Structure 1
Amino acid sequence: MSTLRNATVIVIHGAWADGSSWEPVIRRLQDDGFHVVAAPIPLTSLSEDAEALRRTIARTQGPVIVAGHAYAGAVVGTANDERVKALVYVAALAPDEGETVADVFYREASHPKAPKLAPDADGFIWMPDESFAEAFAQNATAEQIALSRAVQRPISVRSIQEPITSPAWKTKRSWYLLAEEDRMIHPTTQRFLAERMNATIRSFAVDHTPLLTAPDKVTGIIREAAQTALL
């Protein structure tokens, strides 16, 4: 247990969110004794998001577990630092070398209630307000949905069009929480990505954002990754 208490869990928010989306999970991990840091990625390009993660890792000491939600799976894939001992993907995208986020996101047909996404004049993609309740987190409370709308941060087209290089999941142990009721990233795509990574898969009947709607399950898979990789 002392090794676990010396570990840091870095959590990374996805598109249309910020670090507050991890709040229920952060509290649970802190109760377990983990040091937890939410990496503040700018969502301006994959390389700039990766650099933000690198800076966050540099601020920590000891072993690190990196967990990412949705788009942030691509950012998790850049965590090649030797102190990173495990990767956790939560309903997340995991491009292979040479692939983009868009390549894997659009691999399957969209859910009927998935948002119609298009960039604005500045090249940023916003989530339509109604889609937070219909697709982003259909199992969330009204209060959670209202807060998610209020704090949403758009993602740049550059973030989803930049190819990844040397994904970390090829050399590090990975865990994947598969969201069976996801309306944003098709569950079939999630399974394909998780199996391609040879990740340990935990599948649950949850929506796209279990950080909010099923935090015990997200905390559980991070705890499992830490206990397996660090003990």
Structure 2
Amino acid sequence: MSTYKDATIVLAHGAWADGSSWALVIHELQRRGLNVVAAPIPLTSFGEDAAALRRIIARTQGPLIVVGHAYAGAVIGTADDERVKALVYIAALAPDEGETIAEVFYRDETHPKAPQLAPDADGFIWMPDSGFEQAFAQNATQEQIALSKAVQRPIALKSIQEKIVHPSWKNKPVWYLIAEEDRMINPKTQHFMAERMKATVRIFNVDHTPLLTAPDKVVDVILEAVQGVLH
């Protein structure tokens, strides 16, 4: 039987971010003896992002817990490998079959401080600098904000326009961290998605990117998922 320490945690970053956004979480999970991989998601199309996650999963061994932040929630929904024992959503999007990511993202009203987002001439959406401190992670330190701005990676408009095929959350255990101070994805939308997935829900007064601003809470939810499916 698989044990806690046999598991590999696969972390998928969201839009406007890269694997460094998980640094504090990675450090703490590694300190506890877990294997951790941050999946590099190209953000060039939903299909290409899903393929990138599959490549990372193929490089691992043993049971997996796959974790997605924000946009990557949709991406981890494609993780249907039998070794994936649980999915963990961190203030993440979870479109259902036939829905697009944009449809769930804009399901409820936007926060007054949410950034105005529009694609550039090449079809990529960039986060304006002010968006990082006002909505992406308003509780972050100035150093964290500066790094987030420096490493930001845009997301292709077509990534959020593709319809989702059968998501794996329909047949895997799911945990969901709801961020009640989220200014990017309406907390009301998060509650709706978590309930629809029949997820184990944990609710915190954190911003959109608790992996930066409340990593201990993110780690706790991931560990709960590990312990919940591996005995």
* Partner-residue secondary structure (3-state), 1:159: helix
Q: C-alpha separation between the residues in 2 aligned to 1:158 and 1:3?
A: 40
Deviations 1:69-112 (A, max 9, x none): 00000001000000000000000000000101001000011100
Deviations 1:133-191 (A, max 9, x none): 00000000000000000000000011100111110100000000000000000000000
Structure 1 unaligned regions, length at least 5:
none
Provide the residue aligned with 2:150 in structure 1: 150
Map 1:187-202 → 2, pairs under 5 A: 187-202=187-202
TM-score, normalised to structure 1's length? 0.99
Q: C-alpha separation between the residues in 2 aligned to 1:12 and 1:107?
A: 23
TM-score, normalised to structure 2's length? 0.99
Map 1:94-133 → 2, pairs under 5 A: 94-133=94-133
Provide the residue aligned with 1:51 in structure 2: 51
Map 1:38-77 → 2, pairs under 5 A: 38-77=38-77
Q: C-alpha separation between the residues in 1 aligned to 2:43 and 2:194?
A: 23
State the AA in 2 paired with 1:48.
E
Q: Cα offset for 1:60?
A: 0.2
Q: Cα offset for 1:2?
A: 7.1
Q: C-alpha separation between the residues in 2 aligned to 1:76 and 1:99?
A: 15
Say if 2:2 and 2:230, in contact at 8 Å, map to a contact too: no
Q: C-alpha separation between the residues in 2 aligned to 1:202 and 1:167?
A: 21
Provide the residue aligned with 2:218 in structure 1: 218
Q: C-alpha separation between the residues in 2 aligned to 1:34 and 1:54?
A: 20
* Partner-residue secondary structure (3-state), 1:122: coil
State the AA in 1 paired with 2:211.
L
* Partner-residue secondary structure (3-state), 1:130: helix
* Partner-residue secondary structure (3-state), 2:3: helix
Q: Cα offset for 1:5?
A: 1.1
Say if 2:2 and 2:63, in contact at 8 Å, map to a contact too: no
* Partner-residue secondary structure (3-state), 2:178: strand
Q: C-alpha separation between the residues in 2 aligned to 1:230 and 1:134?
A: 39
Deviations 1:175-222 (A, max 9, x none): 000000000000000000000000000000000000000000000000
Q: CA RMSD in A?
A: 0.9
Identity %: 73
Map 1:78-93 → 2, pairs under 5 A: 78-93=78-93
Task: Tell me the matched-pair count.
Answer: 231
* Partner-residue secondary structure (3-state), 1:182: coil
Map 1:129-144 → 2, pairs under 5 A: 129-144=129-144
Q: C-alpha separation between the residues in 1 aligned to 2:65 and 2:32?
A: 14
Moved over 4 A (4+): none
Say if 2:110 and 2:184, in contact at 8 Å, map to a contact too: yes
Provide the residue aligned with 1:23 in structure 2: 23
State the AA in 2 paired with 1:86.
A
* Partner-residue secondary structure (3-state), 1:21: helix
Q: C-alpha separation between the residues in 1 aligned to 2:2 and 2:83?
A: 17
